[in-house]
C-alpha cells in the first residue's frame, strides 16, 4: 500500500494518462473530427428541415404498395440521419484523400454506427408489431455497435463466464441472451409465415370457411412449436434433460388450465364437424347474431345492436345451439293476425300472400302462404308464413316490413281488423241508487 502511494509513482501514472490524452484526445486531427461532427450535424438538421415537407408531400402523392407503406412513412423520420450520413462519408473521403486514413477514424466509427442504425430502422418497418420491432432494432444495433467498436468478443466472453450448471446442463448469460433473441426472431418468422399461408388458404374456393380456419390454426400452432424447439436446440439445450422438469410443471399447469384446454379442444371439434362456421346465424340462450370469427378459445358473435359476444367454445359443444343457417340459409318466419267475421277468408288469404311478397328480403323462390287457423272470439284467426335467405340481416325488421305491407293492403281492400269486444247480458233489473229527481222536485 505504501508503494502505491509513493509520489513518484503517482506522478508517473498521471504523466502516462496525460500523454494518452494529448496523443488521442487533444490531437489536432481528433479535435478537427469533433468539430466536423458538430458542424455537419447542424447542417444536416437545417437541410432536413427544408426537405422534409417536400418529401412527405411526394410520398403522399405516390401510390405506395401496402407492404411498403410503413417504409415510406419512415423515410421523412430518418431524413436527418441520412443527410448526416452522406455528409460524414464525404468528409471521410476528403480526409483520406489528403492525409492518412487513420486521421478519420472517429468519423468512420460514427458513420458506421449511424449506417447500422439507419439500415436497422428501415428494415424493422416490415415488422407489424411495434414492441417486437423496437426490441429487434435495439438488439441488432447493440450487436452492430459492439462489433464496430471491437468490443463484441470481450462482451461475449464476459457473458459466457457468468454461468450456472445443473449436472451436464450449463446455462450462461450468453446462452439466455442468444436463446431469447433466436426465439423472438423465430416466433416473428413463424407468425409472418402463418399469416401468409392463412391468406393463401382463405383464397382457395374449394375449402369451406371452417376448414380454412382449422388449417390456419393448425399451421400456426405447428410453426410456433417448431420455432420453440429450434430455438432451444440452437443454444445447445437438450430437450431430454428438461423432460422430468417439464413433466412436473405440465401436470400443475394442466390442472390450472382445464377450461382453457377444454375450449381449445372444443374449438377443434367445432371446426372438424362443421357445425359452426363463420357467417352462420346462431341463437344461444338470449344471444342471437352471426358468427364473425372462430378463435382458439372463443367464438365471436355479433348481434344486430352492434354488441360482440365472445362465447367460449365449450358452451357451443355442451349447450343447445340453434343454427339458423346450418344446412340451408332459407329460414321461415311467421306472423299471426285476425280479421272481422264480415270479411271473405279466401280474399284475405290472397291479399295477405301478395302483400307478404312485396318486401325485398322475402324469398320469391318459396312464395308466402297464409292459412286460417281458427274462429276466435271476435275475429277470424290467420297465420302468414314467408321465407328469407339472409337471417343475418335481422328478424324483427323483416317482420315489421311484412306487417306494414299487410296493413296497407287491408286498408286498400276494406278488410277490417276488429277490436276485441265483450257483450254483457243483465238478466234482472238493477236498482240504481241516487237516480234522477222528478220534475216537480
Q: What is the pLDDT of residues 44-80, one digit of tens each?
A: 889 888 888 888 888 788 877 777 777 778 888 888 8
For residue 129, pLDDT beyond 80:
no
Beta-bridge partner residues of 287: 284
d(CA 62, CA 72) in angstroms, rounded, equals: 10
Say how far apart CA 174 and CA 155 lie, in whole Å: 9
> Is the pLDDT confidence value at 166 over 70?
no
pLDDT on residue 5:
46
Query: Dihedral (C-alpha) 403, 406, 408, 410: value to the nearest 10 degrees?
Result: -140
The pLDDT-based confidence of 109 (bands split at 50, 70, 90) is confident
Q: Say which residue, 20 or 69, is predicted with more confidence.
A: 69
pTM of the model: 0.45
What is the grid cell recorded at 87?
A: 455528409
Asked if pLDDT for residue 2 goes beyond 50, the answer is no
Task: Give the per-residue pLDDT at 354.
Answer: 92
Q: Is the pLDDT of residue 352 over 90?
A: yes
Considering only CA atoms, which of 215, 214, 309, 312 is closest in space to residue 269?
A: 214
User: What is the Cα 1 distance to its own chain's centre?
Assistant: 66
Contact of 56 with 76, CB cutoff 8 Å: yes
Whether 74 and 121 have beta carbons less than 8 Å apart is answered as yes
What confidence score (pLDDT) does residue 251 get? Answer: 62
Please, is 429 exposed, middle or buried when counting C-beta atoms within 10 Å of its C-beta (0-12, 13-18, 19+)? exposed
Residue 278, all three cell numbers? 363463420
Instruction: Kindly give the pairing relationship between strand 169-172 and strand 163-166.
Output: antiparallel
Measured on CA atoms in the order 169, 174, 176, 180, is the torsion positive or negative? negative
Amino acid at each position: 500500500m505504501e508503494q502505491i502511494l509513493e509520489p513518484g509513482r503517482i506522478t508517473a501514472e498521471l504523466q502516462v494518462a496525460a500523454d494518452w490524452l494529448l496523443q488521442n484526445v487533444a490531437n489536432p486531427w481528433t479535435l478537427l473530427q469533433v468539430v466536423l461532427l458538430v458542424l455537419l450535424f447542424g447542417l444536416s438538421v437545417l437541410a432536413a428541415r427544408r426537405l422534409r415537407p417536400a418529401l412527405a408531400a411526394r410520398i403522399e402523392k405516390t401510390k405506395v404498395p401496402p407492404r411498403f407503406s410503413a417504409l415510406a412513412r419512415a423515410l421523412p423520420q430518418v431524413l436527418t440521419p441520412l443527410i448526416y450520413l452522406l455528409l460524414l462519408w464525404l468528409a471521410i473521403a476528403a480526409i483520406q484523400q489528403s492525409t492518412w486514413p487513420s486521421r478519420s477514424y472517429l468519423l468512420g466509427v460514427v458513420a458506421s454506427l449511424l449506417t447500422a442504425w439507419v439500415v436497422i430502422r428501415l428494415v424493422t418497418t416490415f415488422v407489424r408489431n411495434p414492441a417486437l420491432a423496437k426490441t429487434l432494432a435495439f438488439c441488432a444495433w447493440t450487436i452492430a455497435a459492439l462489433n464496430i467498436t471491437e468490443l463484441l468478443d470481450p462482451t461475449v466472453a464476459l457473458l459466457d463466464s457468468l454461468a450456472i450448471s445443473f449436472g451436464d446442463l450449463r446455462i450462461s448469460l450468453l446462452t439466455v441472451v442468444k436463446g431469447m433473441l433466436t426465439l423472438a426472431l423465430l416466433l416473428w418468422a413463424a407468425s409472418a409465415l402463418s399469416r401468409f399461408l392463412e391468406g393463401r388458404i382463405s383464397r382457395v374456393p374449394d375449402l369451406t370457411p371452417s376448414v380454412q380456419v382449422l388449417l390456419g390454426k393448425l399451421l400456426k400452432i405447428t410453426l410456433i412449436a417448431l420455432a420453440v424447439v429450434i430455438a432451444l436446440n440452437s443454444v445447445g439445450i437438450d430437450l431430454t434433460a428438461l423432460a422430468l422438469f417439464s413433466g412436473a410443471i405440465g401436470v400443475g399447469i394442466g390442472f390450472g388450465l382445464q377450461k382453457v384446454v377444454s375450449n381449445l379442444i372444443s374449438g377443434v371439434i367445432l371446426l372438424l364437424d362443421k357445425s359452426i362456421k363463420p357467417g352462420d346465424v346462431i341463437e344461444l340462450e338470449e344471444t342471437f347474431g352471426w358468427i364473425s370469427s372462430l378463435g382458439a378459445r372463443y367464438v365471436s358473435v355479433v348481434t344486430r345492436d352492434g354488441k360482440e359476444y365472445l362465447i367460449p367454445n365449450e358452451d357451443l359443444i355442451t349447450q343447445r345451439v340453434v343454427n339458423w343457417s346450418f344446412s340451408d340459409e332459407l329460414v321461415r318466419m311467421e306472423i299471426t293476425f285476425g280479421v272481422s267475421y264480415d270479411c271473405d277468408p279466401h280474399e284475405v288469404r290472397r291479399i295477405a300472400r301478395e302483400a307478404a311478397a312485396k318486401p325485398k328480403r322475402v324469398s320469391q323462390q318459396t312464395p308466402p302462404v297464409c292459412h286460417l287457423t281458427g274462429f276466435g272470439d271476435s275475429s277470424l284467426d290467420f297465420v302468414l308464413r314467408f321465407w328469407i335467405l339472409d337471417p343475418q340481416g335481422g328478424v324483427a325488421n323483416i317482420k315489421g316490413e311484412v306487417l306494414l305491407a299487410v296493413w296497407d293492403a287491408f286498408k286498400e281492400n276494406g278488410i277490417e281488423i276488429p277490436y276485441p269486444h265483450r257483450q254483457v247480458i243483465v238478466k234482472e233489473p238493477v236498482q240504481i241508487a241516487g237516480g234522477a229527481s222528478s220534475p216537480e222536485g
